[in-house]
Amino acid sequence: MAVLSRSRMRKKMQRKEVGALSRDFVPVDGFVSFALAKLFWTKHFKMKYNDEKIKAAVRSSGRPLSYREKERQSMRLHGTGRINERGHLEIGGCDTVELARRFGTPLYVMDEELIRKQMRRYVNAFRKTGLSFQVAYASKAFCTMAMCRVAEEEGLHLDVVSDGELYTALKAGFPPESIHFHGNNKTPFELEMALDAGIGLFIVDNFTELSMLDRIAGEKGVRPRILLRVTPGVEVSTHQYIQTGQEDSRFGFGLSSGQAIRAVKEALQARHLILEGFHCHIGSQIFGTGGYKLAVGKMAALAKELRDRFGYLPRIFNAGGGFGIRYVEKDQPLSPEEYVEAIADAVRNSFEGLPLPEIWVEPGRSIVGEAGTTLYTVGTVKEVPGIRKYVSVDGGMTDNLRPALYQAQYEAMLANRALETPEETVSIAGKCCESGDMLIWDLKLPPVRTGDILAVSCTGAYTYSMANNYNRNRRPAVVFVRNGEADLVVERETLEDLTGKDRIPDRLRANPVSGGPALKVR
């Protein structure tokens, strides 16, 4: 529950920061609002989120830190992150300055222990509910073969959304029967590939796909299991680009328009499909449980209507993902346990009178987000006198598109001088020819010098997976760190990789064709 004064709440709603139904906001007046907010801050926020992370900061064996310093560092240290005796950031027992030297920068460093811990938290939280469940990792957040191996080892299912993700999973040896295929525009090629592989389940998004899948499955003589993706008409408070549950959404069958009911009818009539139930995903980076509860309620109402009209009972209800994480101090997500408990309670209450369906979830960000740290080398440091100091790093929107796309905010520290006092405010710029390629505005750091290693925290989700080659920059390497060992799981692209798929038509060939200077390719 959050507390807002009436005037702030009104302003937020006008700015559309607060979807009316998305979070448990309680409007109160003046002084009461201040007092309650303070109480809430101290009891809930500080205790819940800082304690564990402050402990990590305290574990640092450098000089003793003040409470403020510990708190500040707690925002940048996650999982096994600590500051070692050399005053360097260490993750998974590996000195990040050494990692930068060994693998080059930019470099994505993934804390494998934290990834596994997050996966287990979801599974254990569901076990406690006593309900039947399934946790799938939404691989769009971060998809590599090593990551698929970790998900399988932890007993999770995998959600894929393209032939590329499916191929990665299959090549990594992920069991096809534990793969769920998502997407609003699956191509015939993708459907065939998935059917040939024998994947476990399709989440069907629209009527075109429903009939196409039925037809292709018939041609192949198979009968895949499906869920129907339903758009519940729930608008959550998150960036507009990552809301998906509102009525005007390009994902799923609309509930209020009657499309969802029609889709169930068609799916039940389809000769080559097995309808297992419904799915809904209301958005991403969601901090409250109000939206989930509302969506569950609507799904249960749909289930009751279908029972009454067609005698149909869903066996599975997939509540999607979207559970938020704490990128910066102002973010106040709940824990995986709290999200799971809220969804399980809502299902128990709303499905009363119906057989309880299996509950599935598919978190992505909350499994890998905090486990990732991106290391950069500081290049130019430029002062616009009296206005701002720009610190440029050797990556940017090519390895992390989120600030440019969603105005996403991040915390960062100097990995090589982690215990020095931040005393100047700088802005971190990427290296692309775009004014919008700014990773962080107004960040407090110790005086920054060329050659410093900047560590941006919480970059495990939607960074590597959204990386691109703009300005013909190379995509960075990814390492998994654990127990003092660093394993390269994705190599850095080479210059040769950048031109590897280029072809020069004969009429454009340079003269002489095989001449020219010797080029460095690394």
Nearer to ligand LYS, 195 or 404 (CB): 404
DSSP 283: B
Q: Which is nearer to ligand PLP, 317 or 323 (CB)?
A: 323
Indicate which single residue of 115, 141, 194, 418 sits in contact with ligand PLP (rule: CB under 6 A).
141
- Residues between 59 and 118 that touch ligand LYS (CB under 6 A): none
Q: CA neighbours within 13 Å on the CB side: how many for 297?
A: 10
Would you state the structure tokens that stand for residue 343, as one six-digit string?
A: 């969804």
Interaction of residue 321 with ligand PLP, rule CB under 6 A: yes
Q: Does 430 bind ligand PLP (CB under 6 A)?
A: no
If one asks whether residue 157 binds ligand PLP (CB under 6 A), the answer comes out as no
Q: Where are the beta strands (DSSP E) in 394-500?
A: 412-414, 424-429, 438-445, 453-457, 477-482, 485-490
Could you tell me which residues are beta bridge partners of residue 25? 2
Please state the separation of Cα 109 from the chain's center in Å.
16
Question: How far is 248 from 319, CA to CA, in rounded Å?
Answer: 19
Give the nearer residue to ligand PLP in terms of CB position, either 182 or 482.
182
Question: In the set 76, 182, 186, 417, which binds ligand PLP (CB under 6 A)?
Answer: 182
Binding residue for ligand PLP (CB under 6 A) from 314, 322, 357, 395? 322
Q: In whole angstroms, how close is the CB of 75 to ligand PLP at the nearest point?
A: 20
Segment lying near ligand PLP (by CB under 6 A), choices 51-59, 116-124, 305-313, 314-322: 314-322
- Candidates 118, 34, 60, 14; CA nearest to 339 is 118
The interface with ligand PLP within residues 459-498 (CB under 6 A) comprises 461
Q: Of residues 72, 78, 293, 402, which one binds ligand LYS by CB under 6 A? A: 402
Tell me the closest approach of the beta carbon of residue 313 to ligand LYS, in angstroms: 29
* Closest of 479, 367, 484, 365 to residue 116, by C-alpha: 367
CA neighbor of 151 nearest in space, from 190, 186, 185, 123: 123
The answer to whether 285 contacts ligand LYS (rule: CB under 6 A) is yes
DSSP bridge partners of 134: 360
Give which of ligand LYS, ligand PLP, none residue 402 binds (C-beta under 5 to 8 Å, depending on kind): ligand LYS
Question: How many CA atoms lie less than 13 Å away from 319 in the CB half-sphere?
Answer: 30
Among 317, 323, 360, 464, binds ligand PLP (CB under 6 A): 323
Is there a contact between 109 and 375 (Cβ–Cβ < 8 Å)? yes
Question: Which of residues 229 and 402 has its CB atom nearest to ligand LYS in the complex?
Answer: 402
Q: How far is the CB of 306 from ligand LYS (least distance, A)?
A: 26
Asked if 284 interacts with ligand LYS (CB under 6 A), we say: yes
CA dihedral defined by 318, 319, 324, 325, rounded to 10 degrees?
-30
**326-to-48, 78, 411, 495 alpha-carbon distances in Å:** 12, 10, 10, 35
Site for ligand LYS in 414-473 (CB under 6 A): 462
242, 354, 381, 432: residue in contact with ligand LYS (rule CB under 6 A): 242
* Catalytic-residue membership of 433: yes
CB of 309 to ligand PLP, least distance (A): 27
Q: Among residues 277 and 321, whose Cβ is nearest to ligand PLP?
A: 321
Degrees (nearest 5) of the Cα angle 259, 265, 269?
140
Q: What is the Cα–Cα distance from 367 to 117, expressed in whole angstroms? A: 8
Nearest distance from residue 139's CB to ligand LYS, in Å?
Answer: 11
Residue 137 contacts ligand LYS per CB under 6 A: no
Q: Alpha-carbon Rg of the chain, whole angstroms?
A: 25
- Does 364 interact with ligand PLP (rule: CB under 6 A)? yes
Query: How far is CA 94 from its chain centroid?
Result: 24
**Which among ligand LYS, ligand PLP, none contacts residue 321 (Cβ within 5 to 8 A by kind)?**
ligand PLP
Question: For residue 4, what is the enclosing H or E element?
Answer: strand 2-5
- For 476-500, the DSSP string reads PEEEEEETTEEEEEEPPPPHHHHHT
Per annotation, catalytic residue among 143, 148, 432, 433: 433
Stretch that binds ligand PLP, among 7-15, 86-94, 360-368, 480-488 (CB under 6 A): 360-368
Catalytic residues: 433
Residues that bind ligand PLP (CB under 6 A): 138, 141, 159, 182, 281, 284, 320-323, 362-366, 461
Residues that bind ligand LYS (CB under 6 A): 140, 242, 284-285, 402, 462
